[in-house]
Amino acid sequence: MIRVKYVGVLGVQGDITEHVHILEEVARKLGLGAKVIIVNTPEGVEKLSALVMPGGESTTLGKLLRAYKIDESIKKIAAKGVPIMGTCAGLIMLAKNAFGQKKGGQHLLGLLDVSVDRNAYGRQRESFEADLNIPAVGKEPFHGVFIRAPVIEKVFGRAKALAEYDGRIVMVREGNLLGLAFHPEISGDTRIHEYFLKMMKV
């Protein structure tokens, strides 16, 4: 019996449907036979073969993950080697440390060996787009969209930088974990999602 692979998008806040659409396209393109679903329960998370954590507001996201008891389930699948991609606020949630937190601190999953600075590029009006050199996904530049974006201030342990912008790290990988400061789901370029889904165990 062939086990269905479920690729999940965390359905708490952020660009949920955008990630779903691009993941469906990439799964077809790669011939994975995977089903893309939106998850917002511990049970939903724990049956996944891959998980995307979209952007949003990281403090709120942290509170919702605890309220729905999803945080421990994410840690469980991470320990099993399930690929997890966090974009923008998703990156912040994956990080071991986060600077620029609101009063009272912020709940983090503490999985990725990085320190991030929340909203390092400023407020909504300082959002911008930039072409990024990401050798891991190909020679052509990847058009990154930065919206109230964090920056990866420090990489340590097993984490490796995959891309920089203006001398600051904006994409990292640590084993089955992928963290991005930008939003790949709205660029029209599928290469990062392809790279991510290829991280799944066959």
96-119: average pLDDT: 81
45-54: average pLDDT: 96
The pLDDT of residue 195 is above 70 = yes
The Cα 200–Cα 202 span in angstroms is: 6
Domain 6-197 belongs to what architecture? 3-Layer(aba) Sandwich (3.40)
- Distance of CA 173 to CAs 54, 64, 70, 123, 189, Å? 16, 25, 22, 26, 19
The pLDDT of residue 124 is above 60 = no
Question: Would you please indicate which residues are annotated as catalytic (active-site) residues?
Answer: 88, 183, 185
What would the pLDDT profile of 63-83 be if each residue is shown by its tens digit? Answer: 888 888 899 999 999 999 999
Domains of the chain by residue range: 6-197
Query: What pLDDT does residue 1 have?
Result: 40
pTM of the complete model: 0.93
The pLDDT of residue 122 is above 60 = no
Tokens for 191, please give them. 């290469």
Q: Which of the two residues, 59 and 47, has the higher pLDDT score?
A: 47
16-29: average pLDDT: 96
